[in-house]
Amino acid sequence: MDSKKTIPHSEAATLFNKNKERVNWHDETLWFVREKRDRSAYQIPEWELLRETASKIKLNVLSNIHDYLVEFETNAQKNGIIVHWAANAEEHNTIVHSILEKHNIKQMVKSKSMLTEECHLNDYLAEKGIEVIDSDLGEYIVQLRNEPPSHIVLPAIHLKKEDVSETFHKHLGTEKGNIDPQYLTESARKSLRNTFLTRKAALTGVNFAVAETGEFVVCTNEGNADMGAHLADVHIACMGFEKLIPQRKHLGVFLRLLARSATGQPITTFSSHFKTPREGKETHIVIVDNGRSEQLGREEFRNSLKCIRCGACMNTCPVYRRSGGHSYHNAVAGPIGSILAPNLDMKKNADLPFASTLCGSCTNVCPVKIDIHDQLYKWRQVLVKEGYTPSAKTIAMKTMATVLANPMVFDIAGKTGRFAMKNLPGLVNNKMNKWYDQREMPEVPEESFREWYKKNGKATKGKKDEQ
Amino acid sequence: MSSKESILQKIKQNQPKEPIELANLEPLKQTDVDILEQYKSVLKGIGGDFVEVSNYNEIINFVKQNFDTNKRILTTLSELSEIANLDWTKDDPHSLQDTELMVVKAHFGVAENSALWITDDLMGQRVSTFIPQYLAIIVNKSDLVAKMHHAYERIGNQEYGFGTFIAGPSKTADIEQSLVLGAHGARGLTVFLME
């Protein structure tokens, strides 16, 4: 994926917006998920206290993460788990490959792991001649289509059932034109059941790792992580080091928040706690850094490491809903992805913090209270300072600064603008003006606020004084 | 320097210098709900079913009436030997793939999300609650707690190799947000609420 040319977010969003009906559908579908989240949250009177508590636990984790990691490794090893450490994506991929090679395994089943997306593990293993099948239904669909997931919780949310029907017809031989989700899911169930029964290795993600006990928790609705792990000889679990929580009892806080924030469910169907390997089998944990320790050192951005990957910020984001996950060219899309991505590659991801209206809805729904929209704003400043923004934008901003700093210039600019919009609409309502994309320009007011205030300000003030 | 050492060193250097205290979970435990009623309504809401029973005979009768007893039915409970096989816990887990119904017992259930806590000593095999076509779990009414905080209080330092919360049947909405029960695991979950 890295080798492919990255299309900037705004350009990708423009392409996504070509099909108006589909964009509206995408927008509404995600808003529907956001509404489910709201209904679920409102049923918990202590919801805000729960968010605050989760936030505090995560802040505690970040401030002690060195010791928690050492504690977790010691306890996991006591439980018979083999622990690996990977400084970056490449080392992560090499470790996974070496485990498979040791067991002479050529095929692996995988449940959802955004970390392996971040590391491009599937591509790496394919090059080594190892076949990986993604078993989460949404991931399975996008994998068959040779696409990345467009959402961390709902990987195929950008597709309609007609698309899935076509994909399954081509790859699984389902009836052409049968778009019944029940029928399509059943077909995938049959195909993947065979996969689960024949794979010797299963890879899963990790939702939470408990320092106190050395166990890790994996949450799914489908049961695919468990079907893979409990039938395989080797279970590999990959985690970014920020997945750590201090004690078992803290799981109670996060399991209450995760599914409610993600899809509005009270909890995922399965919340599986893996502590020891099955008798005679192997469990490996790969703890990955890949830029996280650097983000930890960026004081203004370190709180992004509190993220529990629920996707609530994506479902609520007006930009994500109308631009689609793929426009973010990063394993994690949406608002949270836009504050994580610049840390990984500032040049490649310089466009992402600008893919936001800074409306703050993401911050309001975040279950661990990450100040997402503030961080988006702060990233913009860093990126401009470091020279990663387009020069046209810099010039425009400098011009704007001059205009805003000088009342006389501001006045003239306003008058000129109003005159042009009224008498020469073609000058602004054209393709060159990005603000005109997808929207009409507003009606031109007769006068500026300043002009109005000069006439009426005193009179209003006087009236107030009389009262 | 190994990757472990270099990662840990970098973390130590970059983590906030002021340690932040852990949060108190006690205020989150307050509750005044009717635990049994909430359990039932939440379970229904997520696609599960419940049957109130006072003894194992009622469970046996329910299974006979609602499931095809000619198909493979397994359990870990000797009380159910009339309808289910008990001799499978040492078998290759792959051989459980033709199981129609699995009946096991949970330690306890949680009212706020209808999840049932079950560990490998009650499962027979770890895959047993995931691989059957249908799943039935018995829980004592007196073993229901209000919230997840009470659940972990109850789990405490319990030793297990594997444990899981199960809430409803396996499901997916990955095709256009249409809910389908029976993704990879059980297509249906019956909870026997025992007096």
Given a cut of 50, whether residue A467 has pLDDT beyond it is no
Number of domains in chain B: 1
pTM score, whole prediction: 0.93
Name which of B144, B115, B193, B141 is nearest B31 in CA terms. Answer: B144
Does some domain include residue B25? no
pLDDT of residue A409: 87
CATH code of the domain in which B96 resides: 3.40.50.10420
Given a cut of 60, whether residue A39 has pLDDT beyond it is yes
Q: Which of residues 399-438 of A touch B (CB under 8 A)?
A: none
- CB pair distance less than 8 Å for B153 and A249: yes
Amino acid identity for residue A290 in this structure: N
pLDDT of residue A97: 98
Query: Between vectors from CA A441 to CA A440 and to CA A445, what angle results, nearest 5°?
Result: 140
In percent, the amount of chain A with pLDDT more than 70 equals: 97
Does some domain include residue B139? yes
Give the closest-approach CA distance of A452 to chain B in angstroms.
51
Check if B59 contacts A (Cβ < 8 Å): no
Interface predicted TM-score (ipTM):
0.98
A22 falls in which pLDDT band (50, 70, 90)?
very high
* Per-residue pLDDT reduced to its tens digit, B144-166: 999 999 999 999 999 999 999 99
pLDDT of residue A462: 56
**Chain B residues in contact with A226 (beta carbon < 8 A):** 126-127, 130, 164, 185
Does some domain include residue B9? no
**What is chain A's mean pLDDT, rounded?**
94
pLDDT of residue B54: 98
* Per-residue pLDDT reduced to its tens digit, A191-232: 999 999 999 999 999 999 999 999 999 999 999 999 999 999
Backbone Cα Rg of chain B:
20
A96 falls in which pLDDT band (50, 70, 90)?
very high
Given a cut of 70, whether residue B108 has pLDDT beyond it is yes
- CB pair distance less than 8 Å for A137 and B25: no
What is the C-alpha separation between A243 and A62, in angstroms, rounded?
10
Does some domain include residue B26? no
Name which of B64, B13, B39 is nearest B150 in CA terms. Answer: B39
**Least CB–CB distance from B162: residue in A50, A66, A273:** A273
Over residues A225-245, the mean pLDDT reads: 98
Does some domain include residue B113? yes
Burial A431-449 (b: 16+ CB within 10 A, else e): eeeeeeeeeeeeeeeeeee
Over residues A135-143, the mean pLDDT reads: 98
- CB pair distance less than 8 Å for A276 and B42: no
Cα A199–chain centre separation: 29
What is the C-alpha separation between B182 and B172, in angstroms, rounded?
8
**Chain A residues in contact with B169 (beta carbon < 8 A):** 269
Task: Name all domains of chain A by residue range, CATH numbers in brackets.
Answer: 44-290 (3.40.50.10420), 305-385 (no CATH), 391-466 (no CATH)
End-to-end CA distance of chain B: 61
* Per-residue pLDDT reduced to its tens digit, A443-455: 888 888 888 888 8
Does some domain include residue B127? yes
pLDDT of residue A391: 79
Beta bridge partners of A288: A86, A240
**Least CB–CB distance from B152: residue in A50, A155, A252:** A252
Given a cut of 60, whether residue B102 has pLDDT beyond it is yes
pLDDT of residue A3: 45
Check if A39 contacts B (Cβ < 8 Å): no
- Closest chain A residue to the Cα of B168, Cα to Cα: A269
What is the C-alpha separation between A120 and A300, in angstroms, rounded?
28
Given a cut of 80, whether residue A431 has pLDDT beyond it is no
Check if B70 contacts A (Cβ < 8 Å): no
What is the C-alpha separation between A356 and A373, in angstroms, rounded?
8
What is the residue range of B62's domain? Answer: 34-194
Check if B142 contacts A (Cβ < 8 Å): no
The residue that leads in pLDDT, A55 or A435, is A55
**If you count DSSP H runs as helices and E runs as strands, how many of each does chain A have, helices first?**
21, 10
* Per-residue pLDDT reduced to its tens digit, A274-300: 999 999 999 999 999 999 999 999 999
For residue A302, give the DSSP letter.
Answer: G
In percent, the amount of chain A with pLDDT more than 90 equals: 82
pLDDT of residue A1: 42
How many Cβ pairs within 8 Å bridge chains A and B?
A: 241
pLDDT of residue A418: 84
Does some domain include residue B16? no
- CB pair distance less than 8 Å for B25 and A252: yes
What is the C-alpha separation between A3 and A456, in angstroms, rounded?
61
Q: What is the DSSP string of B40-91?
A: HHHHHHTT-EEEEESSHHHHHHHHHHHS-TTSEEEES-GGGTTTSB-TTTTS
Given a cut of 60, whether residue A466 has pLDDT beyond it is no
- Closest chain B residue to the Cα of A305, Cα to Cα: B15
Three-class DSSP labels, A8-47: CHHHHHHHHCCCHHHHHHHHHHHHHHHHHHHHHHHCCCCH
For CA atoms A186, A188, A191, A194, the dihedral sign is negative
Check if A227 contacts B (Cβ < 8 Å): yes
**What is chain B's mean pLDDT, rounded?**
97
